[in-house]
Structure 1
């Protein structure tokens, strides 16, 4: 810029000041932007401040609505990083601002990479908004993690304790229904292949495909052993356009052991993005091909017993078991004859011989009562089946005398001063003398 020589000194000074002012205004946005990324906090800072998130986790549905979390930063340049499974700019938007500055004027975080610094303020807001994308997917997370100060001595500290952690976890909960994968239970006689059906609720279209992993296992409630009863296996299923059904095949092993049906588990995992898991666990049943022992029960040779003795029942397994059988038996009664604890569910062990006896003790009391009965019923269990003769009954006879019936009759007429006589009669006659102490016999 040239200044005519005819202008006065004052004019030249005014024009020079104007140029300096214009240059400052032009460069101001660049300086402001640099300060936003790397602020130079000139205000009074709270030295030695502990920083962290008072509420470490926030769960929100996928809705286009902004929210914020605040932390006290004490006018210090607190450093932080952004991570998680959600993608910045696609799944959510993130901004940061001093207290009192709303969403519209908050500084956008444009990339999740790198280390960032909060604006200079006593309290800072982290603004966020998830995008409702209409895609069925797993819940997504955003992790905002505060970093330690690099200065020596540190201007602030991040204690990272449970009630005041360094990381804020934002969870964007999926609210969109979508295709789901499920697997159904299946079974086969040992030695054959178990085929499980895997179903996708909505077929892919065009060039899209859906994949899901699967694997066998023996869980704590399974009885089959990998390598002995079945062949462990795993793999990946791929659904092409238009396909909604696939199958998983597991080979089982035949043996010559009499045993109960056995089970193992097949689990689906790691589906394609946007695909949900419905019933992801299936039970495979290996059915035995050897006949299981059939257990029957019968009352012992003495089908009627007297109170004070035992009611005995014989359990028989046919064919004889290859190993000891533990059989569940429920004992009930009519009347009140069995000793305490003798009724209810009992366990009877049938040895390799194939036969066992169950004895029920009877009380011996002095109470005359009607005859009763004790019944034993075989219940279902592992390693055997129940015969049609699954219940047996023993009659229990009371051994106490029937109490005599006592009647009284007056004697003949007497005059005063005489003795009145009455006659008491017991029918039937008692087996021993009865009466109140001090009374005549």
Structure 2
């Protein structure tokens, strides 16, 4: 676009976006938007349905400050009753002069750490000094950690809360110009990467734009339109081909009553379906006195979708499990004969090993018994005579006679094969010799 000639940029009108796809299915809500002007209140009731957007009613409260709040509040309540929206809370667009808007970047900061990080530097972001302030913020998607922050005096929030409470109009939120337009533009999806929108305001021209070099530009400029557009385009560093036009052209077209203010319309769009947009609400949650019934619609829809998905997963899981078991049974039947043969072979192998071990044991036992006999022959030389030798795995028992039986115990204990030799029975004498029965334990051999 050319900075000096906005008419050149808008020679071909920008086509109003349309709510489509899944956003159309979830596009169900209502909003009561109230713009606080220098003298008047502008009121707009908006209905968003899957079939389209409709402005149900508009109202202007002239010189609201000098009119009893109960009087103009009754007009707003009557408007809501006529359209069966008694429970609808108002979204109030605060005057630009009452809100300080800041954009800061916090790249790399986790979502859970953003709130404390902003709170640490909040006092440096507003001009209110020691006065208490209320803030709200929103991360700007795709902007490398950029944040949009709105800050208002606590006294301002308290004043308007008391004013609308006196009027009997429940308030669901307070917002500001940049946040209202940014939110409304996201109702149909992402807007162009770089663009400029403008409209009339009480003090001149309202301009709003976005570009890669500047996430959000929002200003009220008291200059001729061409100069105001040129200044905004320079701030945004827009290319010549960037779309530019009236703010109304960048928002979904609405049926119903015409002639509504584009900024007020944008406020209502963002408030009607906040689950599809990125609203910024300066009113603390505990002070939001009303909630629109269509809030339940996306919850119900999402709940039904989640239930259907869970049922589908459960059914699919059972079917897959059954198919898996069938395949498993077929495979078991195929390999079962092989498994039986393998088990039989294992049993035969185990039996063979046991027999081999038994034979080895006999061989080792025979060899050990021969060693015992040889050792006894060496130790018990004549005239000792052994009439009986009993060889056990852990001991030997000797029966015989000798001129003296007592020394035999010491002789056996001195052997590398025996220990703990003792008489099993009493020694007796017969024919000049001592008859004995000795038991000796076998030493463990390496």
- Superposition TM-score, scaled by structure 1 size: 0.21
More strand by percentage: 1
More helix by percentage: 2
- With a CA cutoff of 8 Å and minimum separation of 6, indicate the structure with the bigger relative contact order: 2
Larger Rg: 2
